Structure 1
């Protein structure tokens, strides 16, 4: 089966959720999935996915602190290590689907250069489906992708003061 590059971007809710849904569908079809989460380093419900789907592996490449304006050296180091780990997973031959969650935000914040990400895209074996999520997908990435979905916020209860809820947003 030929793999493609998918990008889920935009300011609306649901990018990670869509990627997780695709991952579960793939796992149920017997495919092996790797999910690497950039900028995330706190316990979220999806970290337990391997307990339910042994053919899905997940790793976080962030720190517990949010990136505020300028990333710390620790955050940059963790992201760079994560990109290298994700590249190894991508080319390993072990996975049919690789999800790089919040990679677009990491690119936007300057964690990675265009060249670094293009090298990653070029290293992707033809059979691997690569899913990239996050706001601020750069135009060059959109052009390189085979499928791009933009999530658009129309209305969100967060603006009425509803905090993120366990099992729904995290």
Structure 2
């Protein structure tokens, strides 16, 4: 029987979502069903376009109005919490072996979702579900509850030279 763990990709460097997308593609290649949820993000991303070619092996949903700077709006909170409820149902459904919560750490640090709710999801997930959490600023208590934590550390980034996010590379 497949044993699922909890993975976290966090830190200020590039590559967190890319790591989760890679894990999803690898799992799909082995016939696993994947639920890929993006919190905060609201643009059509390259991964969304690519995932459409995998048919019913992956469900992709976005739950956000964009990144939150400062105090979140009522709409931001509502979108995130409705999404979290749907993701919780997906985790508990038994339909998916891999569930990705992209930018969930940012949703928690932006106060869209309570860290206690995420900890409860980690503790209550079925043993055969791999849970992958991404986003900057993972809470210490979420890190403590995980089985694998990878920090993406920025050494140098072209954003600092005024290079905008590029289609096919950053989104």
TM-score (norm 2): 0.95
Q: Do residues 69 (structure 1) and 70 (structure 2) align? A: yes
- Check the 8 A contact 2:39/2:62 in 1, yes or no: yes
Runs of 4+ residues over 4 Å off in structure 1: none
Q: Could you say which residue in structure 1 is the equivalent of 2:154?
A: 153
Q: Using the TM superposition, name which of 119-128 and 130-139 deviates more.
A: 119-128
1:102 corresponding residue in structure 2: 103
Q: Please give the alpha-carbon distance, in whole angstroms, between the structure 1 residues aligned to 2:113 and 2:169.
A: 29
| Number of equivalenced pairs | 169
Q: Does 1:36 find its partner at 2:34? A: no
Report if aligned partners of 1:49, 1:56 keep a CA contact under 8 Å in 2: no
Across the aligned residues of Structure 1 and Structure 2, the Cα RMSD in angstroms comes to 1.0
Q: Deviations over 1:46-80 (max 9, x none)?
A: 112332212111100001x4312111100100000
CA distance, structure 1, for counterparts of residue 154 and residue 96 of structure 2: 32
Structure 2 regions of 5+ residues with no counterpart?
Answer: none
> What's 2:62 paired with?
60
How far does residue 123 in structure 1 lie from its aligned partner after superposition?
A: 2.1
Report Cα offsets for 1:89-109 as digits up to 9, x if no partner: 111111000000000011111
Structure 1: 5+ residue stretches without partners: none
